[in-house]
Amino acid sequence: MSNIKNTKSTTGFFEDDNGNKSSTRLKTFLSALTALIIALASIIFNEVSLGESLPVIITLLAFSSGEKSYQYFIETKYKSQDHEQ
């Protein structure tokens, strides 16, 4: 057996390519998961109709996609400014 350890590190689900923890990825995942739970609850339970919960679902999905898009835009903007200097 070899005592050589594998130096290749893998990043986790909520980490960026450098291995840094990303709260934006966590918030995006949680808001999308919450929207899914509300959608399923509105289908399964008769007390909540899909029409009543649809604005909340759309808001959560827009937040989850919008925040990640905004983060990507900011990261690319700062990376391009770093390369120009």
Q: Give mean pLDDT in consecutive 10-residue pieces for the chain, a chain of 85 residues.
A: 54 71 83 89 84 88 83 80 62
Report d(CA 60, CA 46) in Å as an integer: 22
**Which pLDDT score is estimated for 9?**
60
Report d(CA 74, CA 56) in Å as an integer: 27
